[in-house]
Amino acid sequence: MSNLDAIVHGLNPAQRAAALHQDGPLLVIAGAGAGKTRTATHRLACLLARGVPPEAIMCITFTNKAAREMRDRAIALVGADARRVMIRTFHSAAMVLLRQYIGEFPESGRTPAFSIADPTAQLALLKEAIAERNFDLKANRPESFLWRIGRYKNELADPESLLARQPTHDLMDWPRVLQMIRSTDRYVNRLTAEIWKRYEEKLRRNNMVDFDDLINLFTQMLREKPDIRTEVQRRFAYLQVDEFQDTNVAQLHMVKLLAGERQNVMAVGDDAQSIYSWRSADIRCILEFERHFPGAQTILLEQNYRSTGAIIRAANRLIAHNAGQRPKRLFTAAAEGCPIVLHEAETEVGEAQWVVQRIREGVAAGRHWGDFAILYRTGVQGRPFEEELREASVPYQVVGGPRFYDRREVQESLAYLRLLHNPRDSVSFERVLNAPRRGIGERGLQLLLALAAQREVDLIAALDLAAADGLLQDQAAEGARELYRHLRRAQEALAGQPGRFAAAMERLLHETGYMAYLREEDRRREERRSEVVESLVAAMHEFERRSPAAGLGAYLDHLALLEGQEEEEGGDVVKLQTIHSAKGLEYPVVFVVGMEQGLLPNQLALEEGNLEEERRLCYVAITRAREELYLTSARVRWQRGEMVITTPSQFLAEALGGGPARPVWMPASAD
């Protein structure tokens, strides 16, 4: 057996064809669980076995973890030569090559010793740029500008194109940039362009780049410096790109400039798992691969090695409803397996209780806690599951994000509640003082604490006294007076109805401007912090419903007991995570929860008629399951302070509507 034969031994025919491919562009469409990483690694090994110098190969991944995994697998296949292959993320590869060549690109205004601005440094420079124009930082939040500038940079735009409302070079995705410009107020666009130019000048003056600049500057250098471009293209004869469905316009053009005329590009990905448009990923990069790399060959990896026949059939049915995709149909040699189980609970609490009970029954039957994963559309949905898992003493871990009660917005909201209950609580007082900002700095805080001690009054009363006695400056004094009024009003409401703290809390968070403050931040986030707080208020209402005579003190005691339980780290624990964070992972048993219109698919997608990415997200969730799949929903759910009747997700009918894969229904009476 030759060395090549040994490397490809055990691969299926499609995997083998991809691994043995050498010259010219190749697109590998790898379905979920079809051995994408294995195929890409074996192709790298085949290149090395054929005598391609390791230094002539560049492999690009999206995460450092994926890069390490590919390198380790390649070393296991062909030995130490694999260590000399450049296996890096997009940004890491761009950074390394920028440092090597930027001395020959003086137009950049940077030297090879440039530093990369972290988020703190970026915000500091943006604040300086805004202050120079005498703009109010409260009305013109640096975070908003940073988010907007990053979006434009990922389309290879620049301030000049924004001001001129026309492309400045042929790499820009001008239709998308124009769409963004048209969807934004003309004044905001002008302001963004002006602040952006000042920000870039400050980066240059400090010999700094930000994270997005790594790719932008690199592509600019290759575009404008033919000698450097030729040298880099000659240096890297072969290029492999993983997770190609997640690339944005800037990354696509980086690949095109690196590939040059030889076009020795192997791109691996799955358009059905393109779920990061909110991070500027553009599915057109993979759908239109042949347009960018003419003459490209396409190989489909359709055999799934992960899931049962029932799960694969549901995934195929679901994704078949998407029009914008490359046709493929997963198949598996595995058995049909367990029927997919659907469960509709009465409430979100009932949904969580049912899921936890199924997990406990599974462990009693011989499974491990780590066999189970609970997946949801947004992190806020994890709250009732965390509570029920803690109540049942089930070890769990929130993957890819903080626990619900560890979130900053939850801690700040609860600080308001704790201060109402105990007006001498200085820790909670400090938390709420500038949430949102009220102009009361550290000096003001210490003055308020000292005043409360001297006058022997609580901290809420100290706010009024300090403002009345002129002890605080104008803005701080007004902030203190407002906070005092809101807190006193809430105290009076609680005194009148001691068991109705949820409504008082909800009103307080709105009146203080805290919810408005969160919604302003939400405009830049995939996950909305305001919805996290709404979920917290829903939990308060639920506690009142279940324990109508308990009151605020009992609720805070209940929280203290929940928060006192330590989360398990790694090991044999139930995993809670968003579907986005679960991509690339797999579990024996998966619960996809919140299968309702407005959650999955989410409300914005429904309003905009943009369901295809939501359907791909559901596809990713379904294909995380190896052996058992549960799809759950609730008939009623707390939304914005009230119980609303829900509608089952349309994806349920699409994935499981008729035929041999009839699901097993487990009604709400099974709660």
**Catalytic amino acids?**
36-37, 242-243, 273, 624
**Distant-in-sequence, close-in-space partners of 270: CB < 8 Å, separation ≥ 6:** 29, 30, 31, 32, 36, 245
Q: What is the CA radius of gyration of the chain?
A: 28
Measured CA to CA, the distance from residue 144 to residue 130 in angstroms comes to 12
Measured CA to CA, the distance from residue 158 to residue 196 in angstroms comes to 8
Measured CA to CA, the distance from residue 425 to residue 154 in angstroms comes to 46
DSSP string covering 409-440: HHHHHHHHHHHHH-TT-HHHHHHHHTSS--S-
Sheet of 625-634, strand order: 396-398, 574-578, 372-376, 587-592, 625-634, 341-345, 664-666
Measured CA to CA, the distance from residue 583 to residue 208 in angstroms comes to 33
**Does 436 sit behind a cis peptide bond, omega within 30 degrees of 0 on the bond before it?**
yes
Cross-strand pairs, 510: none
Q: Please tell me whether residue 297 adopts helix, strand or coil conformation.
A: strand
Contact 91, 214 (CB under 8 A): yes
Measured CA to CA, the distance from residue 329 to residue 579 in angstroms comes to 22
Closest-CA residue to 57 (of 241, 221, 222): 241
Residue recorded with tokens 């004869």 = 237
Q: Please tell me whether residue 89 adopts helix, strand or coil conformation.
A: strand
Measured CA to CA, the distance from residue 110 to residue 220 in angstroms comes to 13
Contact 567, 403 (CB under 8 A): yes
Measured CA to CA, the distance from residue 191 to residue 162 in angstroms comes to 10
Q: How is residue 196 written in tokens?
A: 């952006």
**Distant-in-sequence, close-in-space partners of 101: CB < 8 Å, separation ≥ 6:** 221, 225, 228, 232
Exposed (0-12), middle (13-18) or buried (19+): which is 142, by Cβ within 10 Å? buried
Measured CA to CA, the distance from residue 278 to residue 525 in angstroms comes to 9
**Does 663 sit behind a cis peptide bond, omega within 30 degrees of 0 on the bond before it?**
no
Between strands 372-376 and 86-89, the pairing is unpaired
Q: How far is CA 438 from CA 379, 431, 485, in A?
A: 29, 12, 14
**Distant-in-sequence, close-in-space partners of 235: CB < 8 Å, separation ≥ 6:** 55, 56
**Distant-in-sequence, close-in-space partners of 275: CB < 8 Å, separation ≥ 6:** 579, 580, 583, 613, 616, 617, 620
104: how many CB neighbours lie within 10 A of its CB?
12
